[in-house]
Amino acid sequence: MLTPAMFDSRVERTLCPPWGLQGGQAALPNGVYVVRKNGAIERFPTGKVNPLRLDEGDGYAVGTGGAAASATRSSGQPSRYCGTSPQGRSRLRLPDATTAS
């Protein structure tokens, strides 16, 4: 921070990561962290931070979890799609490992 500030957060899915679909593995959970000027890191396991003072030189990070994978019914191997519900709604195409940056 360039000047003192207040930080608060109401991030979900920090303890229970998004689930995988059709036998796929769960995604990485979200995370909330404060990094103090002296290098100390404060982690907030629930993602909930009541207004917290950040001084000059402090910082914060909000990590978003990775996408949950699904496995195909026929092979059991992960597919290149992910979704946000067991019903497969909001499915997204994942980038191939060779094209991801």
SS3 state of residue 71:
strand
Q: What is the 3-state secondary structure (H, E, C) of 1-45?
A: CCCCEEEEEECCCCCCCCCCECCCCCCCCCEEEEECCCCCEEECC
Residue 21 pairs in a beta bridge with 70
Contact in structure between 87 and 51 (CB atoms under 8 Å): no
Tell me the per-residue pLDDT of 2-12, one tens digit each, with 9 for 90 and over.
Answer: 999 999 999 98
Q: Quote the DSSP letter at residue 46.
A: T
The tens digit of pLDDT for each residue in 23-44 reads 777 788 888 999 999 999 999 9
Greater confidence (97 vs 16) lies with 16
Q: Against a cut of 0.85, is the pTM above it?
A: no
d(CA 66, CA 101): 14
